[in-house]
C-alpha cells in the first residue's frame, strides 16, 4: 500500500537525512519512478523533503536526521496523516502504521493528526456515475474536518432547488472521483455530493463530532442504504463478452457477470426501477438481450414503440 511506503520513506529519511530515488527504490523494492513519486507526494503535502541536484545530491529532509517523528511540526504531522489516512480505511497494514506514527508524535500533535487520518475514506467502487475529481472545495472541507469547524453550505439538490444550511463536517469520501461530505445537521447525519455544493464558508464555531464516530463505519451504512434502493429491480442481460466493461461503466458495481460461454456473457444488472434499466439498455439495440425479466423487456418494448412513433418512416 502507498501509505506504508510513505511512512517507510519518511522514517528512512529521518534516519539517514538524505536518500536518492534509486536507494529508496532498492530499500522498498519498488521502481525508481514510484520512489520519486512518493518523495514528491511528501514534499507537496508540506513535509520538509526537498530535492538537491548535482554530485552528492538526492532528496533531503530539512533539519538534522532524526530516528523518530518528534521533529515534525503540527502542520507537517497533519499533512502526513492526510496522505496516509485514506489508505488506512481499507488496509490493516496502513492502520498499524498509523498507530505507530501516533505513538511517535508529541502528545500535543496527536489529536490533530488522528483527526486528519480519519478525514477521508477512499471507496473505489463506482455507482455508475462520472466523477469530477478533487476540487478546491474538497481541500476547504477537509481542512474544516481536521480543525473541527462548522461550515455554512450553499447546496443544490438534484432537482435544482437550492438551500443553505450549517453543518458539522465529519469526513469526506472519494468514491471513484465522486466526492461526498458526511456531516451532522439539525436533522441528523446527512451525506452531500461535493459537486452540488454551490459555496462553502468555514465558520469559527466548533463542530460537534459524535462520541466514537468512525468515518468508514458511517460510510458503510450510507452505502448499504443507497445500494438497497439501487437494487430494487434487476435483470440478466446477454452481451458480447468484450463489451462487459462498457456495461459496467453504465451500472457500476451493480453489474455482475453470472456466466461466460463462447464469447458471450450473461450479466446481472440492477437499478432502482425496471425503467431505469431499460433506459440504460435502449441504446444497445439488438446487441444486448434481456432474459428473465418481463418488466424490463416490457419497458424496452414501450421505449422502442415511442421511438418508432416519433422517428419511424
**Class for domain 136-228, per CATH?**
mainly beta
Q: Are 153 and 197 in contact (CB under 8 A)?
A: yes
Q: For residue 115, what pLDDT is reported?
A: 57
Model confidence band, residue 128 (pLDDT cutoffs 50, 70, 90): low
Domain covering 232-311 in this structure, CATH number: 3.30.70
User: What mean pLDDT comes out for the span 88-111?
Assistant: 56
Say how far apart CA 176 and CA 45 lie, in whole Å: 21
Q: Which residues partner with 174 through β-bridges?
A: 122, 179
Model confidence band, residue 268 (pLDDT cutoffs 50, 70, 90): very high
Lookup: cell for 150: 462548522
What average pLDDT does the structure give for the chain? 77
Looking at CATH, the fold of the domain delimited by 2-76+96-104 is given as: Arc Repressor Mutant, subunit A (1.10.10)
Torsion of CA 72, 76, 77, 82, to 10 degrees: -160
Q: For residue 154, what pLDDT is reported?
A: 92
Q: For residue 301, what pLDDT is reported?
A: 93
Percentage of the chain beyond pLDDT 90 is: 23
Q: Is the pTM of this model over 0.85?
A: no
Q: For residue 102, what pLDDT is reported?
A: 59
Q: For residue 151, what pLDDT is reported?
A: 94
Model confidence band, residue 298 (pLDDT cutoffs 50, 70, 90): very high
Give residue 259's Cα distance to chain centre. Answer: 30
Q: Are 53 and 65 in contact (CB under 8 A)?
A: no
Report domain extents, the chain: 2-76+96-104, 136-228, 232-311
Same fold, 2-76+96-104 and 232-311: no
How many Å from the N-terminal Cα to the C-terminal Cα in the chain? 59
Lookup: cell for 119: 478525514
Q: Taking 90 as the threshold, does the pLDDT of residue 119 lie above it?
A: no
Amino acid at each position: 500500500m502507498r501509505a506504508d511506503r510513505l511512512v517507510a520513506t519518511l522514517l528512512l529519511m529521518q534516519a539517514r537525512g538524505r536518500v536518492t530515488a534509486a536507494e529508496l527504490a532498492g530499500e522498498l523494492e519498488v521502481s525508481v519512478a514510484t520512489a520519486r513519486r512518493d518523495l514528491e507526494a511528501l514534499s507537496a503535502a508540506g513535509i520538509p523533503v526537498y530535492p538537491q541536484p548535482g554530485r552528492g545530491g538526492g532528496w533531503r529532509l530539512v533539519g538534522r536526521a532524526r530516528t523518530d517523528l518528534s521533529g515534525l511540526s503540527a502542520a507537517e504531522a497533519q499533512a502526513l496523516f492526510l496522505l496516509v489516512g485514506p489508505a488506512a480505511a481499507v488496509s490493516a497494514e496502513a492502520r498499524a502504521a498509523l498507530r505507530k506514527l501516533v505513538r511517535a508524535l508529541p502528545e500535543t500533535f496527536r489529536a490533530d493528526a488522528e483527526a486528519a487520518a480519519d478525514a477521508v475514506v477512499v471507496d473505489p467502487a463506482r455507482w455508475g456515475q462520472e466523477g469530477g475529481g478533487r476540487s478546491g472545495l474538497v481541500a476547504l472541507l477537509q481542512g474544516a474536518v481536521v480543525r473541527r469547524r462548522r461550515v455554512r453550505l450553499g447546496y443544490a439538490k438534484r432537482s435544482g432547488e437550492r438551500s443553505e444550511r450549517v453543518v458539522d463536517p465529519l469526513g469526506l469520501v472519494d468514491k471513484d472521483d465522486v466526492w461526498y461530505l458526511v456531516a451532522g445537521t439539525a436533522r441528523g447525519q446527512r451525506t452531500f455530493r461535493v459537486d452540488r455544493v454551490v459555496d462553502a464558508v468555514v465558520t469559527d464555531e466548533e463542530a460537534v463530532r459524535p462520541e466514537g464516530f468512525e468515518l468508514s463505519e458511517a460510510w458503510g451504512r450510507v452505502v448499504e442504504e443507497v445500494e438497497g434502493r439501487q437494487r430494487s429491480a434487476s435483470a440478466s442481460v446477454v452481451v458480447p463478452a468484450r463489451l462487459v466493461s462498457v456495461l459496467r461503466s453504465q451500472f457500476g458495481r451493480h453489474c455482475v457477470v453470472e456466466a461466460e460461454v463462447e464469447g458471450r456473457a450473461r450479466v446481472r444488472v440492477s437499478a432502482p426501477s425496471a425503467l431505469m434499466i431499460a433506459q440504460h439498455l435502449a441504446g444497445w439495440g439488438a446487441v444486448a438481450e434481456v432474459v428473465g425479466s418481463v418488466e424490463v423487456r416490457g419497458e424496452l418494448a414501450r421505449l422502442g414503440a415511442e421511438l418508432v412513433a416519433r422517428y419511424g418512416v
